[in-house]
Amino acid sequence: LYLLARLALVDPTLTYNCPPEVTAASGIDALVHAIECYTSTKANNFTDALALEAMRLIVGSLRTAVSNGSDEEARNHMSEGALLAGIAFGNASVAVVHALAHLLGSRFHVPHGVANGLLLPYVMECNLPANLPRYAVIAQMLGEEIEGLSFREAAERGVEAVKTLAMDINIPLHLQALGVPREALEGMAVATMDVTRLLVNNPKKLTLADVRAIWENAW
């Protein structure tokens, strides 16, 4: 009854002094919100429009916001993009990236945004076949030139673009860097399958083998 606020006030000036590492983690988390709701089984025309504009704003501003926190335009665009992504996923939900990230955060105390940013490209790789056209559009929103490419080629460029963005803002891309032991992966894979409220939104119906592969690839 008390999870949804009646009013949200978004003031970018409150983010001007936000440290780079927090800016990076929260910023890529907002991008994950936009990407996951755009590929959600609950996506619709309304959420699509919000998610796509959120991607455009975030991708165009996140690097600058991290490297130069006093850049007002970047901070303003990040706040607007995060808001749009929030409204979008509030209506179309998120999916398996968040299911995985919640486990990573609760078991190894990894900041939520870092967990989402790390896991996103590996989930995208798994999900691509389920909706290549949408992942191709995501690649375009991430700044990739996709003219003349097949849907698969374009979608794969989107995965690489996410990895490049993560590296540019110092988000780790491997669980080993966070001290996660390999022997923990099986337990987290099994636990992931219980997060049905998020798995049901995923564009691809995942098996335990799929989830194991995501965790292994991320390790």
Taking only the tens place, the pLDDT of each residue in 135-168 is 999 999 999 999 999 999 999 999 999 999 999 9
Q: Which residues contact 7 (CB under 8 A, 6 or more apart)?
A: none
The gap between the terminal CA atoms of the chain, to the nearest Å, is: 38
> What structural domains and CATH numbers belong to the chain?
18-218 (1.20.1090.10)
pLDDT at 8: 87
pLDDT at 3: 75
Dist. CA 15–CA 56, nearest whole Å: 19
pLDDT at 1: 59
DSSP state of 172: -
Spell out the alpha helix ranges (H) of 109-195.
112-127, 132-141, 151-168, 185-192
Which segments in the chain show pLDDT lower than 50? none
pLDDT at 4: 76
pLDDT at 6: 84
